[in-house]
């Protein structure tokens, strides 16, 4: 071998060895000698992420046995799955509620029921709907980090005085439709100036339109999106597109700014009534603190008074991925987050309601959202609507989103769009049962 070859080979070898050593430093978990390091991946960035970091710091200060290493990570859901597949998942991951049963069906999560029971974190510790949304067949797959309930937000300066208070605001959908028709404004060329209400704005809960009309998306254990209630809901959705014209709605909406900006259509006065979560007040507080608004429960169909007070719930959750190196220590951290003082502090800083059954008066009094009592009350509704406790839900949600777009853009009639979605769902469901649920 020539000298040049030896030098070249040595160089390559040095690069490979350095990469291996540096790589090991990067993935090494031990952050504090003498303490068990729990790796925690969370989706939050910015202020929300910082608030959770404060909780992590408080936990790390509260004891000397476990150290939580907190990492804010984009695409946390997919990365957690892939890391689990590679045998090196985090010990705690912050994901979204609608993914919990998809992950559980894939075998990606640790059952928390026995640890939660031992820690006294039973159903009654929580507002029932939040706990129920995370458990199935006696097994608990996640616990809340911050939850939310959804309500209709109203601009009193854009609606007639007779309905400009929470007490006098319409309670039924028929009244909402009439009010929307009354206050919406279009130019002579058909272009919209003000929309009373638009089901497509902000467009985050299309799966819920059917249940808001009484539909059950998993009727007798079978995914069902073309029930009469769902068709009625999507016909109601289509009514808005037809009333203004699909093209006019599309053009109008393309002028909407991002919800987390001062160009948000509710804040700019392009939309007078908007379905949104408890967090909406945060953005109003930042971008238009003087904006007049109030929140009310979303109206119910006149012929279904039994649905009065129904609400959509969502929550960010903490899970322990299957194969986590330190599941007990991971749960110890999750248990800390569930403490009433810690949870209330975190939820208030995120502008959310608390998922816990007991809520302190101080939480209500100091909360930045003036309507926080309503959101708490909604979470306790006897008709909560949340993502179905089935791993197939993301597919149902995807098909309903597509059906919504087909209806809203006038491509298909509601019944046809839902029938087509049902046909596709039936095929996917068959495969899912064979390949995932029953395997």
Counting contacts by CB under 8 A, is residue 234 touching other proteins? Answer: no
Q: Are 323 and 225 in contact (CB under 8 A)?
A: no
Kindly state the smallest distance separating residue 78's Cβ from other proteins, in Å: 5
- Selected from 5, 20, 26, 27, the binder of other proteins by CB under 8 A is 5
Kindly state the smallest distance separating residue 42's Cβ from other proteins, in Å: 19
87: left (phi over 0), alpha (psi -120 to 50) or beta: left
Counting contacts by CB under 8 A, is residue 435 touching other proteins? Answer: yes
Counting contacts by CB under 8 A, is residue 3 touching other proteins? Answer: no
In the complex with other proteins, the residue whose CB is nearer, 113 or 405, is: 405
Counting contacts by CB under 8 A, is residue 11 touching other proteins? Answer: no
185-224 positions binding other proteins, by CB under 8 A: none
- Selected from 401, 413, 416, 419, the binder of other proteins by CB under 8 A is 401
C-alpha dihedral (15, 18, 42, 47), degrees to nearest 10: -90
Distances (CA, A) of 288 to 123, 262, 263, 282, 283: 39, 7, 10, 10, 8
In the block, which residue shows the tokens 């209330």?
A: 344
- Selected from 254, 289, 290, 365, the binder of other proteins by CB under 8 A is 254
132 vs 3: CA distance, rounded Å: 71
- Selected from 113, 172, 186, 251, the binder of other proteins by CB under 8 A is 251
Distances (CA, A) of 294 to 171, 325, 335: 14, 47, 35
3-class DSSP assignment, residue 96? strand
Closest by CA position to 391, among listed 81, 41, 76, 43: 81
Q: Are 71 and 42 in contact (CB under 8 A)?
A: yes
What character string, x for contact with other proteins (CB under 8 A) and - otherwise, covers 360-399?
A: ----------------------------------xx--x-
Query: Near other proteins by CB under 8 A, which window of 32-40, 277-285, 359-367, 400-408?
Result: 400-408
**DSSP letter string over 33-89?**
TTSEEEEEEE---HHHHHHHHHHHHHHHHH-SSEEEEEEE-TTHHHHHHHHHHTT--
- Selected from 32, 62, 85, 261, the binder of other proteins by CB under 8 A is 85
Counting contacts by CB under 8 A, is residue 269 touching other proteins? Answer: no
Counting contacts by CB under 8 A, is residue 260 touching other proteins? Answer: no
In the complex with other proteins, the residue whose CB is nearer, 223 or 355, is: 223
Total residues in contact with other proteins, by rule CB under 8 A: 38
- Selected from 55, 81, 385, 425, the binder of other proteins by CB under 8 A is 81
In the complex with other proteins, the residue whose CB is nearer, 112 or 152, is: 112
C-alpha dihedral (228, 178, 369, 51), degrees to nearest 10: 50
Closest by CA position to 345, among listed 95, 52, 76: 52
- Selected from 3, 74, 187, 439, the binder of other proteins by CB under 8 A is 439
Q: Are 164 and 302 in contact (CB under 8 A)?
A: no
Counting contacts by CB under 8 A, is residue 74 touching other proteins? Answer: no
Counting contacts by CB under 8 A, is residue 108 touching other proteins? Answer: yes
In the complex with other proteins, the residue whose CB is nearer, 60 or 84, is: 84
Counting contacts by CB under 8 A, is residue 12 touching other proteins? Answer: yes
Query: Near other proteins by CB under 8 A, which window of 63-71, 138-146, 246-254, 297-305?
Result: 246-254
> In this structure, what token pair is assigned to residue 112?
């928390």
Closest by CA position to 123, among listed 386, 360, 355: 355
3-class DSSP assignment, residue 255? coil
Q: Residue 102, Cα to own-chain centre: how many angstroms? A: 15
Give the residues lining the site for other proteins (CB under 8 A).
1-2, 5, 8-9, 12, 78, 81-82, 84-85, 102, 106-108, 247, 250-255, 322, 394-395, 398, 401-402, 405-406, 409, 411, 424, 427, 431, 435-436, 439
């Amino acid at each position: 071998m020539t000298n040049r070859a030896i030098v070249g080979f040595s160089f390559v070898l040095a690069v490979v060895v350095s990469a291996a050593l540096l790589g090991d430093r990067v993935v090494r978990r031990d952050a504090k000698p003498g303490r068990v390091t729990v790796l925690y991946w969370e989706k939050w960035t910015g202020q929300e992420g910082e608030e959770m970091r404060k909780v992590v710091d408080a936990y790390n200060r509260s004891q000397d046995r476990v150290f939580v290493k907190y990492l804010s990570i984009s695409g946390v859901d997919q990365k957690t799955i892939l890391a689990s597949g590679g045998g090196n998942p985090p010990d705690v991951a912050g994901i979204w509620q609608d993914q919990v049963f998809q992950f559980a069906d894939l075998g990606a999560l640790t059952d928390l029921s026995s640890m939660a029971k031992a820690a006294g974190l039973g159903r009654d510790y929580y507002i029932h709907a939040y706990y129920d949304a995370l458990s199935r067949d006696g097994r608990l797959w996640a616990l809340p980090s911050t939850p939310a309930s959804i309500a209709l937000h109203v601009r009193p300066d854009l609606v007639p005085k007779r309905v400009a208070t929470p007490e006098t605001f319409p309670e039924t959908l028929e009244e909402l439709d009439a009010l929307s028709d009354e206050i919406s404004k279009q130019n002579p060329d058909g272009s919209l100036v003000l929309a009373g209400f638009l089901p497509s704005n902000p467009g985050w809960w299309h799966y819920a339109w059917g249940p808001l009309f009484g539909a059950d998306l998993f009727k007798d254990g079978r995914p069902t999106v073309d029930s009469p209630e769902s068709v009625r809901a999507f016909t109601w959705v289509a009514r808005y597109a037809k009333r203004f014209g699909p093209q006019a709605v599309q053009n109008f909406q393309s002028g909407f700014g991002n919800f987390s900006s001062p160009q948000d259509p509710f804040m700019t006065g392009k939309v007078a009534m908007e379905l949104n979560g408890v967090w909406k007040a945060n953005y109003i507080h930042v971008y238009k603190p003087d904006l007049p608004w109030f929140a009310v429960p979303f109206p119910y169909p006149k012929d279904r008074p039994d649905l009065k007070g129904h609400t959509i719930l969502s929550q960010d959750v903490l899970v322990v991925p299957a194969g986590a190196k330190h599941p007990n220590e991971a749960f110890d951290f999750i248990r800390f987050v569930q403490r009433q003082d810690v949870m209330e502090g975190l939820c208030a800083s995120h502008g959310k309601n608390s998922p816990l059954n007991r809520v302190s008066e101080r939480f209500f009094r100091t909360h930045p959202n003036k309507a926080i009592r309503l959101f708490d009350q909604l979470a306790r509704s006897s008709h909560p609507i949340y993502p179905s406790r089935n791993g197939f839900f993301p597919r149902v949600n995807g098909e309903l989103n597509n059906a919504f777009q087909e209806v809203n853009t006038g491509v298909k009639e509601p019944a046809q769009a839902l029938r087509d979605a049902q046909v596709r769902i039936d095929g996917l469901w068959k495969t899912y049962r064979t390949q995932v649920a029953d395997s």
